[in-house]
Structure 1
């Protein structure tokens, strides 16, 4: 740390930050990856704060130039090896803001803690978790959309399409007022749009993410010399959020991640990938990266029984699966629906011959470990607990319990809720030897709950934090148990959740021909080793279609499903070969960086490609869904491609054009995996 009048620096091995203050709020004026590399950022104030009494210092639609933020003045800072704290004070309101910058890999995790030092109550309505600026230039903005069955639809466009040149120099006394905003509401944090963005330039790029399972908002706005990025959790305007701060009380924003890199889009996503690895709560059991079979997708679809499961269990073990998860329906009676009856989490009457334990014993008898599906945050209206739990254990709006799809939303701030789910998890582990839980979440409760909250959005945020704490407590009690975040496919694919979960289902998409875009785009949002891509072969598939369906699983975390016991011999061989390749590569995948040699995959692209680069070697997947074509891969210039899956099917022709690999792609649906090595 160096200090001069009105400026200080924080230097880490791979990050160099410079801040300036004086008679103005603290600004981050430099962020670079080394002492001799140019800054990826332009000077910008590090935080804006909004209250019920004061919003902006001037008219604008963007979260910049807030009244409180413009009055903040430097108090002090504390620097450590991995953390920097900067304290500022608004003397008029008495609001004190502590900005926390935590080093995580090549990136920074940033939060803001707002404390009320005055004698009066103050209502906070928004605070930027992170705020920074990127110099104007030839920049592309990357942002993504998601929905059930259509996850990971990314866009890359010039920033001028969002922030046009309006000749601000002519309007010398006016600042720009517009913005391009990406906003998620409710409790599906990736249900419509994705909590990650990138500003990509030719020489330097930055990537960011917001780490919460609740509502969030990020936006880009402009000034004369830079693009401003504001990253926020829930806000009053977008999410009905407010937090009343009594004297001495404080509020901490949801975390935001920031990573900068020399180079373009893929370099920034690579840095964000390493940042994500650095913020995970890893345990020894996570290092195994096991292949998991789940009986739901295109298979039992929530209707398991002993007769259906036993042949699949044997086939999954023979194929190379290491865990076997019994999905939804295990807790419902044989002749009753289960959707509105969730919550008791006891085995369904008459569903399993010899009881559920006999099926679990069959799983364990093959050498696999057993898992079960749970939806801990919801309670079916038909459950007896709906009548015995107190009203404050549920989300409530205007005095009424929130209901969606015949289910109530539980509030994990309530001790009765946590006690019930603690008892459930502990009992299933003790009685059945469960080693894996698939935690689903199939409702979106709207703005939140008004119970013990200033506003509904604040109640939702408090619940989500309590739920995350509960997950950490479960893992502390049961360090050998793995937890998957499902959330109706990938409706909650954020690092508020994924920093504490082992695995993320990337979709509920059942059409294997639509999965390549989802699988190829997943590493923009989730680590490759957490990206649970379904591989669900079916006896109705051709040999080429079977291989096509398996490739998605190879290029992430292979999440196996399908009636494996019904496959033909050649199909079974392709399944076993894919699992063997994945198991051979999984620990290198867990160190890899993703890249996209044909550009970001569009939903209807006929050819989709993904590279997972582990340094000395890489995996390249190419899916064809259209006419035969030749595709050049200039990103892989000078490298050699060797087909490693499937080895028993025809090899695709690869030629070199001036050192650039050119792949002859047949008419689809067909797919191949290549190992990429130096030339």
Structure 2
């Protein structure tokens, strides 16, 4: 809901529990007024009427209060917008108009000197407490070209508090999404990626709570998440007067994003913000519900149990071996069979073949259709792996078009994993990829595509292009456009985003793919911490998690039971990636039981309300999913000490007056007892796990 005052210069956006208010001064300065619990328009008017901060030398009264600070004028905070025209840098904006279109508010400003237009977009839906913000910069010329050095999507202003604690998700390859919280000290904290993709090192999300007092269940939490799949930056500023502002957008520095000719415009990605009074858990639940309702395509559909052949075969694949794996996977109850790398071109190792997206004639002499048909006959969907943005120098594509990759003239073309990055900003490259992928998806009954991105930008050059910096932004726009076009042409195909694991996870890619590969690390114990961090922002419905072989040979050699591996992976979209030809009949039978159990609890896991009961650590950790009359608890015991049993788990979201029956044991528990005294898991020893299902009994 959007409301405004009678003079049309103060606005209030309202969601189910929260409100957001902004207002214009007489000098057309747009000030932030409120972000927190719902308020009335009259409250916003009262806030707008308050006296400005007293004058202090060497400070600006706008700093920490302006809604979208720009470069130029009496401002000393980090500018969200920096523009350059011949002889002039910076802008002076005048308010032009306010427009309301359903749940979107648009505030238009102009800079008459250069005929520039700035539109601040706000959207807050009636069913969500998420405020979506983005900006559009337009060259409304005539005049010289305009260079956008920086155009952040939004600046978020927090209320004054004694102190703030900052939460973020940091990591590296095979160790993504690890949650850390620390006091926000004075100055500026910057996270981001300068790699051309979202990156393993940080997810574009921050959460802040006042005075470090919020818990999983209670307390005010402010969260901000950026929807962009390229290089990005989020800066959290704790100003000298105690104000806190968060600015974020595309691009890793201020060296230039784009040039705009008269008539051109640039629209930033969305930078979404959320306020919750329900602690970290309440904030996560609100984020999850919003993404399932508004971001993720076809979110109501359940994601199938997947088998991926990569860890079983590596590059040594054959049609017959894939058929053998498919038969075993089908007998286990798997619903989607995926052929990973090495089905195409001269792909016998990672040194060749990328870019040649046709089946290898020796490995698949009749193409992929016969294998896909057999997989379908076994009752499973069929999927493949691709990495369209990359090319090996040893490929037909590169030999024909060596100029199609990002490179600087006269410089070495840096290879990572023996591959180079295609310049998707080039229209001819985009059109070539569209034709190849469209033909591929039409050549066989393919239901699923795993879209990988296995290296960073290192040589972002574009010989012959007057403004090569634009490839940083236009590569991402081209990626989005290609995915949109493929989804429209092949509406039944499901897409999963991968980037060496969790290197491309953000709201932008999630608006165009159905799930993401969370991490290349499939160790079930490590995954608990990775999944705990991931769940701070994103729902289990998009979090792919696999059961692989034990011992875990890729990283640590850890041995774990099939039970522990399955229960760890069942907290997301279950997949299996081990070499099934090496599994014993006993293991295959046990695995089939776990798959059957997952399929029964899948509606709760993928579409239920998540409660993090205990965070991963040295002992007991657990999550609970609640939907309708049912709830399921997934619990893991890392290690038991001194023979002492793990503590009971206090469940959440239950009716205290109702009775709940355990579907495994038949025991009946009162809701109030489960909430206050807790549920005993019965876990013992090291690396033990359990799935406990409860259903409300009818009175």
Q: TM-score range by the shorter chain?
A: 0.7 to 0.9
Give 1:663 deviation, angstroms.
4.5
Give 1:455 deviation, angstroms.
5.5
The corresponding residue for 2:165 is 140
Alpha-carbon distance in structure 2 between the residues aligned to 1:374 and 1:65: 37
Alpha-carbon distance in structure 2 between the residues aligned to 1:423 and 1:150: 36
Matched, 1:386 2:374: no
More displaced stretch, 454-463 vs 82-91: 454-463
Give 1:517 deviation, angstroms.
1.7
Give 1:21 deviation, angstroms.
0.5
Matched, 1:221 2:232: no
Distance 1:542 1:419, change over 3 A: closer
Unaligned runs of 5+ in 2: 49-63, 84-88, 667-672
Q: 1:246-325 maps to which residues of 2 (within 5 A)? A: 246-280=261-295, 282-283=297-298, 287-297=301-311, 299-325=312-338
What TM-score does the superposition give when structure 2 sets the normalisation length?
0.83
Give 1:482 deviation, angstroms.
0.9
Distance 1:409 1:676, change over 3 A: same
The corresponding residue for 1:506 is 518
The corresponding residue for 1:9 is 11
Task: Identify which of 224, 228, 239 aligns with 1:208.
Answer: 224
What TM-score does the superposition give when structure 1 sets the normalisation length?
0.85
Alpha-carbon distance in structure 1 between the residues aligned to 2:339 and 2:249: 38
Task: Identify which of 103, 109, 120 aligns with 2:144.
Answer: 120
Distance 1:355 1:450, change over 3 A: closer
> RMSD of the alignment, in Å?
3.5
The corresponding residue for 2:478 is 466
The corresponding residue for 1:171 is none
Alpha-carbon distance in structure 2 between the residues aligned to 1:4 and 1:537: 66
Matched, 1:88 2:105: no
Distance 1:278 1:475, change over 3 A: same
- CA deviation map 1:281-300 (0-9, x unaligned): 5249x724222211113x22
Give 1:277 deviation, angstroms.
2.1
Task: Identify which of 553, 574, 580 aligns with 1:558.
Answer: 574
Distance 1:453 1:459, change over 3 A: farther
Alpha-carbon distance in structure 1 between the residues aligned to 2:538 and 2:620: 22
- CA deviation map 1:407-463 (0-9, x unaligned): 221122333323332333233333321111111111111373446867655312111
CA contact (8 A) 1:146 1:190 kept: no
Q: 1:18-167 maps to which residues of 2 (within 5 A)? A: 18-22=21-25, 23-32=27-36, 34-35=38-39, 44-50=65-71, 57-59=74-76, 62-63=78-79, 71-91=92-112, 94-103=115-124, 105-117=128-140, 119-137=143-161, 139-157=164-182, 161-164=183-186
Task: Identify which of 420, 434, 449 aligns with 2:446.
Answer: 434
Q: 1:343-362 maps to which residues of 2 (within 5 A)? A: 343-352=355-364, 356-362=368-374
SS at 1:273 equivalent: helix
Matched, 1:636 2:648: no
Give 1:632 deviation, angstroms.
4.7
Distance 1:477 1:75, change over 3 A: same
- CA deviation map 1:259-306 (0-9, x unaligned): 22222111112212222223325249x724222211113x22232223
Give 1:210 deviation, angstroms.
0.9
SS at 1:200 equivalent: strand
- CA deviation map 1:329-361 (0-9, x unaligned): 112558x42433211122224325776444333
Alpha-carbon distance in structure 2 between the residues aligned to 1:452 and 1:82: 44
Q: 1:171-250 maps to which residues of 2 (within 5 A)? A: 178-201=187-210, 202=214, 203-223=219-239, 224-237=241-254, 240-250=255-265
- CA deviation map 1:147-181 (0-9, x unaligned): 21111111122xxx3324xxxxxxxxxxxxx2111
Alpha-carbon distance in structure 1 between the residues aligned to 2:573 and 2:585: 24
Alpha-carbon distance in structure 2 between the residues aligned to 1:513 and 1:90: 56
Give 1:247 deviation, angstroms.
3.6
Distance 1:69 1:416, change over 3 A: closer
* Aligned residue pairs, count: 642
SS at 1:364 equivalent: helix
Alpha-carbon distance in structure 1 between the residues aligned to 2:653 and 2:444: 53
Distance 1:423 1:93, change over 3 A: closer
Matched, 1:419 2:431: yes
Alpha-carbon distance in structure 1 between the residues aligned to 2:229 and 2:558: 40
Distance 1:657 1:612, change over 3 A: closer
SS at 1:579 equivalent: helix
Give 1:248 deviation, angstroms.
3.9
Alpha-carbon distance in structure 1 between the residues aligned to 2:560 and 2:566: 10
Give 1:229 deviation, angstroms.
1.4
Distance 1:656 1:476, change over 3 A: closer
Distance 1:217 1:77, change over 3 A: same
Alpha-carbon distance in structure 2 between the residues aligned to 1:641 and 1:544: 32
Alpha-carbon distance in structure 2 between the residues aligned to 1:89 and 1:294: 53
CA contact (8 A) 1:618 1:676 kept: yes
CA contact (8 A) 1:554 1:581 kept: no
Give 1:557 deviation, angstroms.
0.6
Give 1:307 deviation, angstroms.
3.8
More displaced stretch, 28-37 vs 606-615: 28-37
Q: 1:586-601 maps to which residues of 2 (within 5 A)? A: 586-599=602-615, 601=616
Give 1:136 deviation, angstroms.
3.1
CA contact (8 A) 2:497 2:516 kept: yes
The corresponding residue for 1:173 is none
Matched, 1:609 2:611: no
CA contact (8 A) 2:257 2:473 kept: no
CA contact (8 A) 2:145 2:259 kept: yes
Distance 1:369 1:657, change over 3 A: closer
Matched, 1:477 2:489: yes
More displaced stretch, 466-475 vs 575-584: 575-584
CA contact (8 A) 2:651 2:674 kept: no
- CA deviation map 1:87-120 (0-9, x unaligned): 1234455442101112354312211111234633
SS at 1:397 equivalent: coil
More displaced stretch, 447-456 vs 16-25: 447-456
